[in-house]
Amino acid sequence: MADGSVLLSNDAGFTAAVSKADFARFSAGRLGSGEKLYGELAAKGFVREMTDFEGFAAACSKKNAFLGAGPGLHILVMTLRCNHKCLYCQSGALGAAGGRTDMSRAVARKSVDFALKSTNPGITIEFQGGEPLLNWDTLKDSVLYARRRAKELGREVRLALVSNFSLMTEEKARFLVENEVSVCTSLDGPADLHNKNRIFTGGNSHADTVKWLKYFIGRAAKQVPEYKTFNPSALLTVSKYSLGREKEIVDEYLRNGLTDIFARPLAPIGYAKNLWPKIGYSAGEFAVFYRNTLNYILKLNAAGKKIRERHAVIMLEKIINGSDPGYLDMRCPCGAAIGQVAYNYNGDLYSCDEGRMVGWEGDDLFKIGNVLKDSYRKVMLAPASRACAAASNLESQPQCSRCVYKPYCGVCPVYNYETQGSLWGDMPSSGRCALSMGMFDALFALLKKPASAKILKGWVQK
């Protein structure tokens, strides 16, 4: 670690930070069994002859409980059309005119039926695009159909909408709240920064976003008796323009009543690949941004403000609670097909939304079937489903299998394929691996400081 200590981890997800001198004694077998550190390491499963294998197995099993569940996230691409032209867009969206790439009601209903075949007991159907509100009639029909079928089948179904809110109206918003469709949008910071990233020639993207965030948060705060709690969320995509503006961005989230901020690095794929020299940055630059953001959030927490960073929450859930937070892009194997399925407007099925975007560029490597033709079993056993599971198994990644962050990390076959030309990729030269390391380094450094550790642990306390 940066302070010269050595971080240890094991497959059950336990960690211990020890000084270099103690580590040298421990690895040479010279740590006395009566020493406090020996007791700590033994209790955490680092001493073979003292390991409680039943406890160790129970911890492994809890951590990997998702393995037998089946896909929980079902992303329905309502349309490829969008009225924004965001600098970093990966979705392959088209302009707002025409309806050639809109999902029909028939395909949407088939998609809902397919999602309900999942063996996962609690599924989420997420409506995405392009901008899904451009295909409102199908979206509305799908919501009502999913609610009806879930009731008939006695299934737990969560519904979610990812939208830029620019086409939201009072009538649509009421419908979403009444049918318990949670909403998620993008908020990249103050107006000038947000609008620089999220180009909307038909209006002011930032103004629409904050207007409707306020509306939906107001609904949640009121907890209108006939509605259940309804918590809107927002995503932050970090472009080069965000660097150095950490405080302003966090303040913007607080100002708009949001209690979580999800600082997501850019990936050099989709539109962002071509614009990388203009909007991209190095993993080191992102690490600085991430550290500054976390430090500022912790300072606000210490002053009594309520706000968390989502990546940290995801990692802490694994590190502190030893459980899987359901984040599909950072787990082993990753969520491709076995954790999520993306349904394209025409019924084609992909391992994930990122796999669908590769398909949109003309390469169907990540296609796993079609909702109108293929059975659930066939889709789950498709070559791409199996290849992604194998490629994202960290045990088969030479660098990951020896990495201290392995118990909490995950690799992305789509990212590897797009940036390095193979599903397995090469972690020592992978930009995504470097980004993950930067975030883990920042978090573990903070966990070593008692004051920040107390706040961070509070974020995931049950």
Residues of the shown chain interacting with ligand SF4 in the complex, contacts defined by CB under 6 A: 328-329, 334-336, 340, 351-352, 354-355, 388, 392, 394, 397, 399-400, 403, 405-406, 409, 411-415, 427, 433, 436-437
DSSP 385-401: HHHHHHHT-GGGSTTGG
Q: Which is nearer to ligand SF4, 39 or 284 (CB)?
A: 284
Closest by alpha carbon to 360, among 97, 129, 126? Answer: 129
Q: Which is nearer to ligand SF4, 182 or 416 (CB)?
A: 416
Q: Which is nearer to ligand SF4, 212 or 405 (CB)?
A: 405
Q: Which is nearer to ligand SF4, 166 or 436 (CB)?
A: 436
Question: Number of C-alpha atoms within 13 angstroms, CB side, residue 330?
Answer: 26
- Classified as helix, coil or strand, 40 is helix
With tokens 């008692």, the residue in question is 450
Alpha carbons 250 and 253: distance in angstroms, whole number: 5
With tokens 């930032």, the residue in question is 206
Q: Compute the Cα dihedral for 293, 295, 299, 305 and give only its sign.
A: positive
Eight-state DSSP code of residue 404 = T
Three-class SS string for 316-356?
Answer: HHHHCCCCCCCCCCCCCCCCECCCEEEECCCCEEECCHHHH
Q: Where are the beta strands (DSSP E) in 163-307?
A: 181-186, 233-238, 260-265
Q: Least distance in Å: CB of 30 to ligand SF4?
A: 29
Q: Which is nearer to ligand SF4, 138 or 392 (CB)?
A: 392
Q: Least distance in Å: CB of 401 to ligand SF4?
A: 8
Q: Which is nearer to ligand SF4, 195 or 399 (CB)?
A: 399
Eight-state DSSP code of residue 104 = P
Query: Under the phi-then-psi rule, with left for phi > 0, alpha for psi from -120 to 50, and beta for the rest, what region is 244?
Result: left
Q: Least distance in Å: CB of 335 to ligand SF4?
A: 4
Q: Least distance in Å: CB of 324 to ligand SF4?
A: 14
Q: Which is nearer to ligand SF4, 315 or 328 (CB)?
A: 328
The two structure tokens encoding residue 244: 């150095």
Q: Least distance in Å: CB of 403 to ligand SF4?
A: 3
Q: Which is nearer to ligand SF4, 75 or 210 (CB)?
A: 75
Q: Which is nearer to ligand SF4, 26 or 405 (CB)?
A: 405
With tokens 């509305």, the residue in question is 140
Q: What share of residues in the chain are helix, strand, coil (percent, to 5)?
A: 50, 15, 40
Q: Least distance in Å: CB of 337 to ligand SF4?
A: 8
Q: Which is nearer to ligand SF4, 139 or 349 (CB)?
A: 349
Q: Least distance in Å: CB of 34 to ligand SF4?
A: 34
Q: Which is nearer to ligand SF4, 76 or 403 (CB)?
A: 403
Q: CA angle, 338 as apex, 333 and 341 as ends, to 5°?
A: 125
Q: Least distance in Å: CB of 354 to ligand SF4?
A: 4
Alpha carbons 135 and 112: distance in angstroms, whole number: 16
Q: CA angle, 298 as apex, 292 and 299 as ends, to 5°?
A: 90
What residues contact 31, with CB distance under 8 A and at least 6 apart? 22, 25, 37, 38, 41
What residues contact 145, with CB distance under 8 A and at least 6 apart? 108, 109, 112
Alpha carbons 358 and 287: distance in angstroms, whole number: 27
Q: Least distance in Å: CB of 418 to ligand SF4?
A: 10
Alpha carbons 154 and 29: distance in angstroms, whole number: 57
Alpha carbons 67 and 328: distance in angstroms, whole number: 12
Q: Least distance in Å: CB of 434 to ligand SF4?
A: 8
Q: Least distance in Å: CB of 391 to ligand SF4?
A: 8
